[in-house]
Copies of this chain bind each other. A is one copy, B any other.
Amino acid sequence: MYRSHFIADVTPEYDGKEVIWAGWVHLLRDLGGKKFIILRDKTGLGQVVVDKNSSAFGISQELTQESVIQVRGIVKADKRAPRGIELHAEEITLLSKAKAPLPLDVSGKVKADIDTRLRERVLDLRRQEMQAVIKIQSLALKAFRETLYKEGFIEIFTPKIIASATEGGAQLFPVIYFGKEAFLAQSPQLYKELMAGVVERVFEVAPAWRAEESDTPFHLAEFISMDVEMAFADYNDVMQLLEKILHNIVKTIKEEGKEELKILNYEPPEVKIPIKRLKYTEAIEILRSKGYNIKFGDDIGTPELRILNEELKEDLYFIVDWPSDARPFYTKSKSENPELSESFDLIYKFLEIVSGSTRNHKREVLEEALKKKGLKPESFEFFLKWFDYGMPPHAGFGMGLARLMVMLTGIQSVKEIVPFPRDKKRLTP
């Protein structure tokens, strides 16, 4: 047994009791012949005091920052110490000695640039801010699934090695699969649709890959996609579901992630239901009224989203009813105006976090849409085939976990959020 208590579980009521802590040497200080160790475990920081005449004093002289130790000692309540207690060491066991100096300061006093941080990543992740990010992400995933379970959704996993391109041929990573060429899935789109044609309500949290050439703070070659697909539903139904999901995620983080938000000095935005819906055509009008040379069919990029954010005075809103030509082939057009589609993006400030739509569920419509995009229906026969055998109307969305985390932590780059990011330059650590 390495520990009897986590640091945060020892309160002033333990005064006089013996406990064993285990963790990392966060900071070391000599003061008046005593050694002060700020010890860190997953629950936080605690103060260990080593008296000169304690039998632990010898070993305390050998300690370095980030060394892993185990401390048996007696708790003393002390209002000046973190958490109102100190542990007076009687025995220290050195479990793993860290080299000095460290290539990165874990206590966070010395700031490092992003390249250094990603190179010395394990030390960087141990900084309290990054631990907070990791914990908030886990809470967000828990809350995401909770809402979906409540609504009768079933968790699935779809294949990641695929024979052909999901949404066209661009940006795929080739895999050599038993001597044959295959690809890494860009998204679970087509397979999750098929699964919605089986058990109606499905979700998946899994990696997806895009061979992104561009180096932006919001793109990665490997990312975690949170996918939802729902039969007998349209885009309005899934926007309502998404509102519930986001509301529960933010609520959970504000309740169960209080400490972490405090460390990050950040407050996620309120999710007011209903979230504002701005039509694509309205967005274009606003942008034109601000002097932007933008026409129907154009994408709305980051600079334009910044303008909309300012004009709308909303940090979180949907842009709905995008031009059909601007969306993937599986997106359903509006019956009253086929130039527009039953589609939406969820925007946080200037970032697209979620993209969704009603899907086409008629084979002939899908074939037409593929041809219009210059894609061959024959290449999609593994998908199209099932539309001959009872595919229900359905809708869904995909949410980028790291982008959601931008909203939840305030950190302005997905490369800082993902523990070991993959981009054109980075394949290690």
How distant is the Cα of A161 from the Cα of B223 in the complex, in angstroms?
Answer: 11
Copies of this chain, count? 2
| B173 near A174: Cβ-Cβ < 8 Å | no
Q: Mark A291-328, 1 if CB is under 8 A from B, else 0.
A: 00000000000000000000000000000000000000
Interface residues of A in 193-232 (CB under 8 A from B): 194-195, 197-201, 206-207, 209, 211, 221-222, 224, 232
Residues in chain B near residue A159, CB distance under 8 A: 222, 420, 422
Do residues A160 and B199 form an inter-chain contact, with CB atoms below 8 A? Answer: no
- From A122, A175, A178, name the one whose CB has the most chain B CB atoms within 10 angstroms: A122
Chain A positions 348 through 387: 1 when the CB is less than 8 Å from some CB of chain B, otherwise 0: 0000000000000110000000000000000000110111
Q: A98-B389, A155-B141, A389-B122 are in contact. Are A428 and B163 (CB under 8 A)?
A: yes
**A198 touching B232 in the complex, CB below 8 Å, given contacts A177-B427, A178-B424, A211-B178:** no
The verdict on A84 contacting chain B, using a C-beta distance below 8 Å, is: no
Q: In the complex, what distance in Å separates the CA atom of A283 from the CA atom of B220?
A: 48
Task: List the B side residues contacting A125 at CB < 8 Å.
Answer: 195, 198-199
Taking a contact as CB atoms closer than 8 A, the residue among B98, B134, B182, B184 that contacts A388 in the complex is: B98
Asked whether A158 is an interface residue with its Cβ less than 8 Å from the other chain, the reply is yes
- Quick check: is A88 within 8 A (CB to CB) of the other chain? no
**Chain B residue nearest to A146 in the complex (CB):** B142
Are A122 and B386 closer than 8 Å at their CB atoms? yes
Q: Which chain B residue lies CB-closest to A383? A: B429
Interface residue? A191 (CB, 8 A): yes
- Across the A-B interface, give the 3 residue pairs with the lowest CB-CB distance, nearest first: A2-B232, A66-B390, A42-B200
Interface positions of A (Cβ within 8 A of B): 2-3, 22, 24-25, 41-42, 66-68, 95-99, 102, 122-123, 125-126, 130-131, 134-135, 137-138, 141-142, 145, 149, 152, 154-163, 173-178, 180, 182, 184, 191, 194-195, 197-201, 206-207, 209, 211, 221-222, 224, 232-233, 361-362, 382-383, 385-393, 401, 418-420, 422, 424, 427-429
